[in-house]
Amino acid sequence: MNASNPEDKVPLVACLGEVLIDFISEEKGSLDSVASFRKHSGGAPANVAVGISRLGVTCGFIGKVGSDTFGEFLKTSLKENGINIEGIVETKEAPTALAFVSRSITGERHFIFYRDPCADVLLTEDDLPKDWLRKIKYLHVGGVSLTRNPSRQTTLRAIEIARKNGAVITFDPNLRLDLWSGGLHECRKILHIVLARTDIFLPSQHELLLIMDTEQIDDAFSRAHKLGPHTICLKCGADGSRISTKTAKGKYDQFSQKALDVNVVDTTGAGDGFNAGLIVGLVKGMNIREAVRQGTAVASLVITKIGAMTALPTEQELSKFLMKMKAD
């Protein structure tokens, strides 16, 4: 399939969830001190979709935007990045979600969300492109669409259809506890249900420990595997990643991947870049170690620029970066 013609066929991969406007501070500092912000397309699943498309794999997006200027901007932005947007629905019932993002001196981020109500949580089962879900090879979902109904039940239904028809389910919790009205208890309950239907789990270290209700990484790995995922990719920021996979004999194969040494400008979208690089690697037939190395390289490129979607590399940029890293 060719990513340059995104709307002619069912994509190999679909990403489901929120697409929103990130207003990212132009200078570093706290949200109360910065003076100006630049508009960027954002939303974790949308970032992953763009990352996948730029790396040469066809990808579609499933979600909902407001019938407003920001919604049109986001649809145009995704389409320009090679995404099949036939799975995006508009609504007049709520506006497109917004987020204001500040960057610290070290590039870490702080968010304020404007999303209650917002369009993406109004996604219903009737909005789902079921022909995609019956034919795609991978479905990637994030945790924000699970925070409330109807998008929660819609996401679970999409996973059910795709999984029944042989798709691999990848899940990034993208945990934002302030968006869960029922707090941590509700969050754990719902995410455990999702993990029972997940093949590849993509949490941060903080998220894994919190969701599994333990302070020990190995214990958290064990608990998560028992729920369902055969592969857990633990994203540890500057410390790289730690991977645990179930073998055919029911044992665990674990390995670590070091982070690459780059100049950190903005960490926004680093995890999404990792997810995209990993999924593309697996789609193209890489083994898990090769796919993790590719995901690490994509994340490394993302953090050298401001923004998430705008910082995601093309296939050519990634190849050039990997060649340079080998030479160094």
pLDDT at 97: 96
Residue in the structure block whose two tokens are 């990792």: 274
What pLDDT digit, counting tens, does each position of 261-270 carry?
999 888 888 9
d(CA 119, CA 155): 15
User: What average pLDDT does the chain have?
Assistant: 93
**Domain covering 13-327 assigned CATH 3.10.105.10 in the classification:** no
Confidence check: pLDDT of 139 > 80: yes
Residues 72, 230 contacting (CB under 8 angstroms): no
d(CA 321, CA 324): 5
| Strand pairing category for 109-114 and 138-142 | unpaired
> Per-residue pLDDT averaged across 166-184, rounded?
96
What pLDDT digit, counting tens, does each position of 188-239 carry?
999 999 999 999 999 999 999 999 999 999 999 999 999 999 999 999 999 9
E-strand stretches of 29-83: 37-42, 59-66
Could you tell me which residues come within 8 angstroms of residue 10 by beta carbon, excluding any fewer than 6 positions away?
60, 131, 132, 135, 136
What pLDDT digit, counting tens, does each position of 54-110 carry?
999 999 999 999 999 999 999 999 999 999 999 999 999 999 999 998 878 776 778
pLDDT at 327: 66
pLDDT at 2: 37
- Give the sheet arrangement for strand 241-246, strand by strand: 84-91, 59-66, 13-16, 138-142, 168-172, 200-201, 231-235, 241-246, 252-257
Residues 202, 235 contacting (CB under 8 angstroms): yes
d(CA 271, CA 75): 22
The reported pTM is 0.93
Residue in the structure block whose two tokens are 């028992």: 226
Nearest 5°: CA angle at 42, between 160 and 204?
A: 65
What pLDDT digit, counting tens, does each position of 108-138 carry?
778 888 988 899 999 999 999 999 999 999 9
- Give the sheet arrangement for strand 98-103, strand by strand: 37-42, 20-28, 98-103, 109-114
